Structure 1
Amino acid sequence: MSGTTWLQRAASAITVFRESERPVVSLARDLLWVAAVVGGIALFLFLFSGTWPAVVTIESESMVPNMNVGDLVLVVDEDRFGPLTTWDDGRWTGHTSFGDYGDVIVYRPNGADSVHPIIHRAMTYIDTAAVVESGLGAYYDDPHGGYITKGDNNPYTDQPNLRIAGVGVIEPVKKEWIVGKALFAVPLVGYLPLHLAEFAVLVIIVILIHDFVIARRKEKNE
């Protein structure tokens, strides 16, 4: 009996929430709907891609002309839809993506979560990194194997020519540092995540205006 009473109260509260015309309740209802849609899309992307984040935005010109600033890139697990292929292997197998041989990967430089992941092409895989000096006077303190990567628009590979503040010289990419590989890109859509706060404010304003207009129409009809 108590269980039935609880269910009845919950159903009654949901009905009141759904049918209420109070502005605050109406706004909360709309925001919950938006959150449900966004959450559903995020869940679908995760299940499809097998990794997270499932989408990234191109923020630099390092991959021009094959990827441009503002492109929204769908990222999948490195072995989904075929094994990860390097540029070297792609020359022999004919595998291409984004205008060149091999796959483009998203990776956390030196495994760090404190900086944005890098999206560059996997050029080759080495079993052991020799202690290599670069023009920066950089070298690997703890040599290990991994992927050598390069931006299509860059003259040099990331290893060992790229240094990031707080991270150091970029080392060969271990497999556990890979977020995923790029599957395809949608031009310009990536500007939306770059301005997510502004977009959220715009959505709320649109919802408020919509609710205000609906309320005024009801008042006139009454």
Structure 2
Amino acid sequence: MSDTTWLQRAASALAAFRESDRPLVSLTRDLLWVVAVVGGIALLLYLVAGTWPAVVTIESESMVPNMNVGDLVLVVDEDRFGNLVTWAEGQRTGQSSFGDYGNVIVYRPNGADSVNPIIHRAMTYVDTAAVVESGLGAYYDDPHGGYITRGDNNPYTDQPNLRISGIGVIEPVKKEWIVGKALVAVPLVGYLPLHLAEFAVVVILVILVHDFVLARKKEKEE
């Protein structure tokens, strides 16, 4: 009997929350709805992509013209929808993505989480620490192998030419440093995450105005 009473009270409280016209309750209800929708979308993206973050925003011009600032990029696990292919492999097989051979990958530079991941094309893979001289550039001696990467708009590879404050010279990308590979890009939509705080303020203002208009309309009808 006590369980039934508890359930009845919970159901009654939920019904009151759903039907309340009080501004604060209405705002809370709308915000919870927004959170639920965003959470559902995030879960769906994770299930499809198999990695997190499942989307990233292009913040620099290093991948122009194949990716532009403000593009929102769907990132999937490196082996999902086909194996990860480098530029060198793609040149031999004809596989391409985003306007050039091979796959574009998202990786944490030197495995660090303290800086934003980098999204550049995987040019080739080196198994040893030997210096490699080729048309792709000169790679430096390194204690481990990994992927050599380059932005499509950059004249040089990240390794060993890119240095990040607090991280140092960028090393060949170990497989465990890879977040995923780029699958598709949607132009301009990425500006939203870049201005998430401003967008949140706009959403809240819209909800407040909407609730205010409905309340005034109801008052006039009564």
Shorter-chain TM band: over 0.9
Alignment match, 2:150: 150
Shift of 1:130: 3.0
Please tell me the root mean square deviation across aligned C-alpha atoms, in Å: 1.3
- Separation in 1, partners of 2:165, 2:201: 33
**TM-score, length of structure 2 as denominator length:** 0.95
Alignment match, 2:108: 108
Shift of 1:143: 1.3
- Separation in 2, partners of 1:14, 1:95: 55
Q: Deviations over 1:121-154 (max 9, x none)?
A: 000001012379xxxxx966x5101000000000
Q: 5+ residue gaps in structure 1? A: 133-137
Shift of 1:84: 0.2
User: What pairs up with 1:27-176 in 2 under 5 angstroms?
Assistant: 27-130=27-130, 143-176=143-176
**2:205 partner SS:** helix
- Separation in 1, partners of 2:84, 2:73: 17
Aligned pair 1:14/2:19, yes or no?
no
**TM-score, length of structure 1 as denominator length:** 0.95
Q: Which amino acid aligns with 1:98?
A: F
Poorly superposed stretches of 4+, deviation over 3 Å: none
- Separation in 2, partners of 1:129, 1:187: 38
**2:147 partner SS:** strand
**1:65 partner SS:** coil
Q: Is the 8 A contact 2:106 2:178 kept in 1?
A: yes
- Separation in 2, partners of 1:215, 1:87: 60
Q: Which amino acid aligns with 1:89?
A: E
Alignment match, 1:135: none
Aligned pair 1:189/2:153, yes or no?
no
Q: Which amino acid aligns with 2:157?
A: T
Q: Which amino acid aligns with 2:201?
A: V
Q: Is the 8 A contact 1:131 1:143 kept in 2?
A: no
Alignment match, 2:179: 179
- Separation in 1, partners of 2:207, 2:109: 40
User: How has the CA–CA distance of structure 1 residues 62 and 181 changed in structure 2, closer, same or farther, with 3 Å as cutoff?
Assistant: same
Shift of 1:202: 0.1
- Separation in 2, partners of 1:130, 1:111: 21
Q: Deviations over 1:137-193 (max 9, x none)?
A: x966x5101000000000010000100000000000000000000001000110000
Q: Which amino acid aligns with 1:123?
A: M
- Separation in 2, partners of 1:161, 1:187: 29
Q: Which amino acid aligns with 1:99?
A: G
Size of the aligned set, in residue pairs, is 216
Q: Which amino acid aligns with 1:214?
A: L
- Separation in 1, partners of 2:131, 2:177: 20
**1:121 partner SS:** strand
- Separation in 2, partners of 1:58, 1:77: 18
Q: Deviations over 1:59-81 (max 9, x none)?
A: 00000000001100000000000
Q: Which amino acid aligns with 1:173?
A: V
Q: Is the 8 A contact 1:105 1:120 kept in 2?
A: yes
